[in-house]
Amino acid sequence: MMQFPPSKILDSLPKQFFASLVKKVGQFIEQGYDVINLGQGNPDQPTPSHIVAKLQEAAINPVNHKYSPFQGHRYLKQAVADFYYREYGVSINPDKEVAILFGGKAGLVEIPQCLLNPGDTILVPDPGYPDYWSGVALAKAEMVTMPLKEENNFLPDYSQLTAKELANAKLMFLNYPNNPTGATATREFFEGTVTLARENDICVVHDFAYGAIGFDGEKPLSFLQIDGAKAVGIEIYTLSKTYNMAGWRVGFAIGNESVISAIELLQDHLYVSLFGAVQEAAAAALLGPQECVRELNLLYERRRNILIDGLRKVGWNVNAPKGSFFAWLKVPGGFTSEQFADILLEQAHIMVAPGIGFGEIGEGFVRVGLLTSEERLTEVVERISSLEIFKK
């Protein structure tokens, strides 16, 4: 059989770090071990029943068996606008300021191709969601990382960017509540971001994937709640986390008209449109009863408390995340993040994600997902305690 080599652009894509983790875990499961998988970000709860019912109803309608409008149904864009006004007090023009996405990840990977030319600079958080790097590679852009350090509450320090980096930058990714650190952004930080973007002609892309998940009574801020934010950027929202719709592949971008127009132009060439029944279900999620969202948030907070309190009791000095469904835990001295993750997998049969997989500054931490039951998280604490690594 002939072998056809991949293109140079495919060869330039970053290696999928987490694929090797999944393979490693699979080997332990095949050997019969009971592995508790905390390494991935796949919601473990079902989609709320009223959303599923709307999909079932809409799937029968022959109208949805045809091509949908290439840029999405207007009723879904209106639902997005209504959702943002209700939740954040942000006014959105559904006709010019909303792009329907095939999941948030698609938008994040597409946006560098929409706005950057080869050699342009994009500012990317480190540690950060690895698929940001994929968009950079596909656009043949240059990446400048912004370290997220514990001493700065995992917010980038813009004063550390050089004048040349700011002059060359065309795009910036931010993500709060943050994956992987669980940090949240302050109003002051976002206000400084708007000022920086305006002064340096930088488009801000705020990844708001975990916007619904905030703890201790604090509702996460939307970037678009800040005066002037819409003029300098967009926000990308996914229904995957808020409504446990990860497999449904539906999200949206909102904000600056020129950026939304560019996204829709690219998507016109890549796709037809989302299945109409999924769009109807998405609108039902955004406009329907929101008690399911509040209950989910409380579930993650209970899980967070069980894990963090338990680990502290066994001697692991860890900080509690302020949002998202991840905890970012400092590795004990003497181990790299990969070494410590291997110990947990091999000796306690717990999978966590090494921090180095999220960028160089992620070294020294592991990411733990709150995506299993309270009973299993209690068992995680017991298994880690039995290793006696943190014995006082």
Do 280 and 301 belong to one domain?
A: no
* Among 78, 376, 129, residue whose Cα is nearest residue 240: 129
* Among 318, 315, 245, residue whose Cα is nearest residue 278: 245
**Would you place residue 84 in the very low, low, confident or very high pLDDT band (cuts 50, 70, 90)?**
very high
Kindly state the DSSP code that residue 327 receives in the 8-state scheme: E
Does 326 score more than 60 pLDDT?
Answer: yes
**Would you place residue 392 in the very low, low, confident or very high pLDDT band (cuts 50, 70, 90)?**
low
Do 236 and 132 belong to one domain?
A: yes
Distance, CA of 115 to CA of 97 (rounded, Å): 16
Do 82 and 193 belong to one domain?
A: yes
Do 276 and 300 belong to one domain?
A: no
Distance, CA of 53 to CA of 65 (rounded, Å): 17
The string of pLDDT tens digits covering residues 129-178 is 999 999 999 999 999 999 999 999 999 999 999 999 999 999 999 999 99
Do 122 and 236 belong to one domain?
A: yes
Residue 307 phi, psi dihedral angles, 5° rounding: -70, -55
CATH code of 36's domain: 3.90.1150.10
Contact predicate 362/216, CB 8 Å: no
Query: Among 287, 304, 325, which residue terminates a domain?
Result: 287
> What pLDDT, on the 0 to 100 scale, is given for residue 192?
97
Query: Among 287, 304, 338, which residue terminates a domain?
Result: 287
Q: What is the mean pLDDT of the chain?
A: 94
The string of pLDDT tens digits covering residues 265-287 is 999 999 888 999 999 999 999 99
The string of pLDDT tens digits covering residues 3-60 is 898 898 888 888 877 777 888 888 888 888 889 999 888 899 999 999 999 999 999 9
Do 101 and 242 belong to one domain?
A: yes
* pTM for the structure as a whole: 0.95
Do 354 and 265 belong to one domain?
A: no
Do 34 and 169 belong to one domain?
A: no
Do 220 and 355 belong to one domain?
A: no
Instruction: Please report whether residue 84 resides in a domain.
Output: yes
Annotate 270-282 with DSSP letters as a single string.
H-----HHHHHHH
> What pLDDT, on the 0 to 100 scale, is given for residue 391?
72
- Average pLDDT on 121-127 reads 97
* Among 115, 99, 106, residue whose Cα is nearest residue 252: 99
Residue span of the structural domain in which 120 resides:
49-287
Give the CA dihedral 341, 343, 349, 355, nearest 10 degrees: 0
The string of pLDDT tens digits covering residues 328-379 is 999 998 899 999 999 999 999 999 999 999 999 999 999 999 999 999 999 9
